[in-house]
Structure formats: C-alpha cells, structure tokens
Homo-oligomer: A and B are copies of this chain.
Amino acid sequence: MSEQQLARYTYLGPEGTFTEAALRAFVGSEHVRTDPSTDVVSALDAVRGGRADFAVVPMENSVEGGVNVTLDTLASSAEPLVIVGEVVVPVAFVLAVVPGTALSQVRRVSTHPHAWAQCRGWVGRELDGAVHVPATSTAAAAAILADRGREAGFDAALCSALSAERYGLEALAEGVADNPHAVTRFVVVSRPGTLPEPTGADKTTLMAHLPDNEAGALLDMLEQFAVRGVNLSRIESRPIGDSLGRYSFSMDLEGHVAEERVAAALIGLHRVCPLVRFMGSYPRWDRVAPHVAPGTHDADFVAARTWVERIRTGQV
C-alpha cells in the first residue's frame, strides 16, 4: 500500500502525549499516517476539513471526569462527526527533568492542569511547596523543557514515560499518580458514513437537551431508556450555555443503534427532547457484552411489532 492510501490520523499533540499512546493502541500493527494537532478543536477541525480521516481525542478521565472541550465540540457542530472507536489507557506520570537535575532543585513543575490535579498528593509529599506552571498538554511541558532548559521557566514536567523518552529527558520519579488505577478514555472520531458493524459489545454516544423548565424532565428522559432495558454507562451534564440551570446531557448507552432496544430508546428520546444528537455506535474497548434483560432482545421487539401489525389488519 502506498503512503497516499494509508489512513490519516490526527491526535491531541504534540508527539508523546497519552493521546498518541492511545492512537498506537487503537491501530495496533496497522500502518497509518499520523500528524499531531495543537488542541482538541484543531484535531476535530482537521477531520471536518478532510485533512485527516480520523482524530483521536480524550473523552473522559477516571479522576477528572469528562473532557469538556471534547464533549462540547463534538456535540455542537454544524458539521457533525461520529465516534467510531474508543481506547482506554492507564494514566501514569513521570517527573521528567533535564538530565542531571536533582529532586531538591525542582521548585516549579509544568504540566496540564488535569495532570496536576491527579498528582497533587504526590507533589505535596515529595515536592512540598512546588508551584504549578500550567501547560497545554503534558507533552508540551516536556517539549518546552527539552527545548529551553533553564529558560523554560520551570524545572520539571509531569508527563508520560513516552514523552520523557522522546524529548530526551530523565525520569526522576515514576508512577507519579495519586490514584494508581487512573485511566483515560479516548475516542476515535471520523466524518459520518458507514457505521461500525455491531459486535455484540458496543456503545452508543448521544447528546440530548432537556425540555425547558420542566421538573422531572431528566427523570422522563431516563424512563425512555429504562422501559427498553437500555443501560447508561456514562452520563454527564453540560451547561447549554446561555444561563445557569439549563443542561444538556452527554451519555453512553450500552448497545448499538442497530439493536432494536437502542433504536427504540433513541426514538423515544427524539420525541421528548428538543434536541438529540447521535454521536456514534462503536465497539467497546473492553469487549464486555451488556446484560440484555428479558423482553428486550431484538427478537422480542420483532415479535411485538409483528403482533401489532397483525392486529392492525384485523387479525387478533
């Protein structure tokens, strides 16, 4: 296959980010072209504009929660994108320094604010009094430190082991994370087209606005899932943006829109919500098949529809 025919991936850069690690995990041994973007918005714009086929961006972190810029940018666009895959990667940081720097010399530490939040306890114990210098990504902190050294304005970067290695830094400490089980979930995004085939272990991502000023509107929305036996594996509120108290909800459902119960829930949601956006049905990273409750298998829906169709033609 020529270089021109390879799938083109962009990702939240620079090189060495956890996002790049997620991309590598996703494509495995497939040969692809990769090109970092400076931020999530740019990565998604590259796909919209046709400069990339796929973008890999962070969606949620087990410590910090949803990545707002991803949730909002995916949900709000006039040119919709869809999620076609997900990757979950463990998050572990190293304290990266210019080779030769001692721990006692580290006074200012640069990293992304989310990373800082996840290492706060460790920093308090090991680098008491150290100050945070915000960076746009963990890898950016590493890149700047490697590039400018003492002129960087900080002494160390909290970044991935991959970043430290790629930028020629030394890892003074490893496994620097308050929660050793922390993971980040990344999504692979493309322009709409063919849906990924259902695998039996899929997720469907949606965004829905609630009706205004209706007590119980969230309850009513959740009932639409419950009566079809559809479980939610994620729900996050996002402000609609023009006032406090108005929310949209970003959700992951267990199942694929090709499955009857998911399709039925979406139909119900479309009826009761002023706005619903479908954002993809795709295989789960953990390949765990959902529990499908009695009466909610595809065959149950088909049998029930057939029964009603017969009734409508006068056969009881």
Contact = CB atoms under 8 A, between A and B. Distances in A.
Interface residues of A, number: 82
Contacts of A195: 311-312, 314
A29 interface: no
Nearest to A261: B271
A239 B61 contact: yes
Interface centre among A132, A218, A228 (most CB of B within 10 A): A218
Contacts of A218: 222, 232, 235
Interface string A108-150: 0000010001001000000000001011100000000000000
B308 A239 contact: no
Counted per complex, copies of this chain come to 4
A237 B251 CA distance: 11
Contact of A242 (B62, B68, B296): B62
A241 B312 contact: no
A157 to B, nearest CB: 14
Contacts of A113: 113, 134
Interface centre among A135, A185, A237, A314 (most CB of B within 10 A): A237
A244 B307 contact: no
Interface of A: 41, 60-65, 68-69, 80, 82, 88, 113, 117, 120, 132, 134-136, 153, 179, 181-183, 185, 192-195, 215-216, 218-220, 222-224, 226-229, 231-239, 241-245, 247, 257-258, 263, 266-268, 270-272, 277-278, 291, 295-296, 300-301, 303-305, 307-308, 311-312, 314-316
